[in-house]
Every structure is written in structure tokens, then in C-alpha cells.
Amino acid sequence: MSLESKIEQLSNSIDALVAAISAGNVIAPVIEKPVTEVKPEPVKEVKPEPAAPVAPAAPVAETPAVEPEMPAAPTFEEVAPAAPVSNDAPFTDGNGLIAYVMESYKALGADKGAQIQGVLTGLGYSNINDVKPEHYNSLFAGIEALK
């Protein structure tokens, strides 16, 4: 008997049962299970073990309530003005920066030119267009160090 024919027989049987139940012609047999009396086992008395003695809690010394002192007000020192940054970079704007980086990339070649991204990342940038003018000299120095 093949699997397909077995499935077909089961499917026909289910259809016949559904039709019989829908018509109300099926009386479900009631199967009674014999009741067996269960006797509980006698309970053994278990004596609890004596508890270990607990040491009394150490007395807590009372400390007088003292309000904390306020810290002294902060003082600020005057910061010396920053020394003027020398402009060693041969560019002063974004267009000049991009032109310099592209020229350097071509001069270094693809392998070494890829290290320019490491210089950018070292300065905290992921995109050449985000470099601020105050970092132009650092970027220039980093690229020149690759050469």
C-alpha cells in the first residue's frame, strides 16, 4: 500500500466522520476507567536540626548630624591666546584641499595613497569635505609624511 493511497483512505475516513457528526448520528462511547484506591504512605516525622547560634549585631555608634561644607568656588585662570598657526599648507580652502589630496594620491599611487584615509581618520574625519581649516596644516603634514 502506497503512502498516497493511505492518505486518501484517511482523508475519506475523516470526511465520513465529519458528515456523521454533523448529522448527529454519532454517539460517543463512554469509557469508564476503574477507580483505584490510593493509600497515602505513612509520613515520617523529621526533627529539625538545631539552628546555629547567631551573633548579636554590633552596636552602631551614633554620629552627630553634621551638614557637609560647601566646596570653595572655582577659580578661573586666564588662558594665554593661542600662538598663531603657521600656514604651511599650500591650500587655504576646500577646493585647494581636494586638489592637493587628489594630486598627492596620484603621486603616491593606489597602495600608498590609500593611507591618506588613515591620516583623515587620525584627525577625526571620515570625509575630506568635513576637514576644518584649523586642521589643514595637520592634514598637510600627515600626507607629506607618507611621501
How many whole angstroms separate alpha carbon 140 and alpha carbon 97?
A: 9
Residue 133: which residues within 8 A CB-CB, separation 6 or more?
92, 93
Residue 17 lies in a domain: no
Each as own residue / partner, the long-range contacts of residues 129-133 (CB below 8 Å, 24 or more positions apart, any chain) are 129/94, 129/98, 131/94, 131/97, 133/92, 133/93
How many whole angstroms separate alpha carbon 14 and alpha carbon 43?
A: 52
Residue 141 lies in a domain: yes
Residue 82 lies in a domain: no
pLDDT of 27 above 70: no
Residue 57 lies in a domain: no
Residue 128 lies in a domain: yes
Residue 11, pLDDT score? 92
Q: Does the predicted model carry a pTM greater than 0.85?
A: no
| 27, amino acid identity | I
- The upper half-sphere exposure of residue 2, i.e. CA atoms within 13 Å in the direction of its Cβ, equals 3
Q: Tens digit of pLDDT for each residue in 88-103?
A: 788 889 899 899 988 9
Q: Tens digit of pLDDT for each residue in 30-87?
A: 566 666 676 777 777 767 676 666 666 666 666 666 677 777 777 767 655 554 445 6
Residue 30, pLDDT score? 59
CB 102 within 8 A of CB 68: no
Q: Which domain holds residue 116?
A: 94-146
Q: Tens digit of pLDDT for each residue in 103-118?
A: 988 888 888 888 999 9
pLDDT of 10 above 60: yes
Residue 24 lies in a domain: no
How many whole angstroms separate alpha carbon 121 and alpha carbon 118?
A: 5
Residue 83, pLDDT score? 46
Residue 140 lies in a domain: yes
Number of domains, the chain: 1
Residue 28, pLDDT score? 58
Kindly report which listed range (8-12, 59-63, 86-90, 131-135) carries the lowest average pLDDT score: 59-63
